[in-house]
Amino acid sequence: MKFFAFAAASVVALGTAFSAQAQQLRLSHQWSTADVRHKVAEMIAEEVEAADVGLSIRIFPSASLFSATEQYQPVSRGQLDMTVYPLSYAGGLRPEFNLTLMPGIVRNHDHAARLNKSEFMQRLEDLMAEDDIMVLVHGYLAGGFASKGDCITRPEHMEGRTVRAAGRGFEQMLAAAGASISSMASSEIYNGMQTGVLDAVNTSSSSFVSFRLYEQVDCYTPAGDIALWFMYQPLLMNKSTFEGLSQEQQEVLLAASARAEEWYLEQAKIDDERSVEVFSNNDVQIAEMTAEDFEAWRMLATESAYQDFLSQVPNGQELLDLAFSVE
């Protein structure tokens, strides 16, 4: 009897060890393997693997597992473990998330980093927690405009154009400026420009480069000292899945995520500069937005995007006030 008890215990122990060794998290995102957001995921996966705590992360880039816009709900339901995801894509589910891609809220990257640690962001994290989702890596990316033909720096430059804008707030602002809106994921922009469906686009510096949009445009208005476009694009994880990990696994994952977050911020600044270099090297004209241009856009956003947001979100003014309280 002792032998059989020992054998049974050994089988259980071996099974537990094998299970730990075989535990693999699935992480999905829409970008190419050259993109900064993939690199953030890759950094964490490599650190977790090197820690040898019975945990690994398999990355599915280029929307190869789930489509670009649908990844929030699979994570919420536990069908997907992790994603790098523009939170405003889930604005249809949680209209408060639209505030993470609203013209004129974020001024620069350092301001974005302060927002990430603020009560404003904590309110959004509380909403994610209700959906069984937690944030592992905070990150905002800046962006700008690119166009066929004339450059875009002011609202009047949008009249008659067909544009892809990232986020409900930007779509409303640009529509108010006289543009027609064609909604699509970042991964579809190149084809939209190539086929003539679009003649202008508004997206992140990183996406401008990683999707090779310099091949399809004549003018680029990048994020500089003045940036109108900032989009919150965190690395998210199913909260229950995280809580089901061992304490050692959690600590390794959190430590790796903290280092990735620091790198993400630094790289976001570098990506803005690099995008200008890449577009210039490909003979694309570079335009610059002035402080006066920025104020014209923000006034238009106040009359359009902000008003719609406040009509959709009962506590919208409180969230706006919290965002604007961060200096």
The overall average pLDDT reported for the chain is 91
> Does the structure show a pLDDT above 70 at 7?
no
Amino acid at 16: T
The closest alpha carbon to 74, from 30, 137, 35, 27, belongs to 27
Q: Over range 54-80, report the average pLDDT.
A: 95
Q: Over range 308-318, report the average pLDDT.
A: 93
The pLDDT value given to residue 11: 40
First-to-last CA distance in the chain?
Answer: 71
Confidence band for 13, pLDDT divided at 50, 70 and 90: very low
Percent of the chain with pLDDT over 90: 80
CB 61 within 8 A of CB 93: no
Q: Whole-structure pTM over 0.75, yes or no?
A: yes
> Which of 165-174, 222-231, 246-255, 301-310 holds the top average pLDDT?
246-255
Question: Which ranges constitute the DSSP H helices of the chain?
Answer: 2-22, 36-51, 72-76, 109-116, 119-130, 168-176, 189-194, 205-210, 239-243, 247-281, 291-303, 305-312, 316-324
Q: What are phi and psi of 7, to 5 degrees?
A: -65, -40
DSSP-derived secondary structure for 164-217: EESSHHHHHHHHHTT-EE----GGGHHHHHHTTS-SEEEEEHHHHHHTTGGGT-
- Residues 19-55: tens digit of each pLDDT: 445 699 999 999 889 889 999 999 999 999 999 999 9
Return the higher-pLDDT residue of 187 and 173: 173
DSSP-based three-state secondary structure for 30: coil
The pLDDT value given to residue 18: 42
3-state DSSP of 104-144: CCCCCHHHHHHHHCCHHHHHHHHHHHHCCEEEEECCEEEEE
Residue 117: exposure state from Cβ atoms within 10 A (0-12, 13-18, ≥19):
exposed
Between CA 45 and CA 28 the distance in angstroms is 12
Torsion angle, alpha carbons of 250, 231, 289, 302, to 10: -130
DSSP-based three-state secondary structure for 24: strand
The pLDDT value given to residue 4: 42
The pLDDT value given to residue 9: 42
- Residues 260-285: tens digit of each pLDDT: 999 999 999 998 999 999 999 999 99
The closest alpha carbon to 227, from 248, 202, 245, 210, belongs to 202
The closest alpha carbon to 38, from 47, 25, 29, belongs to 29
Q: Over range 134-156, report the average pLDDT.
A: 96
Cα Rg of the chain, angstroms: 22
What is the chain's length? Answer: 327
The residues, any chain, with a CB within 8 Å of residue 256's CB and separated by 6 or more, are 43, 44, 47, 48, 51
Question: Cα 141 to the chain's mean position, in Å?
Answer: 7
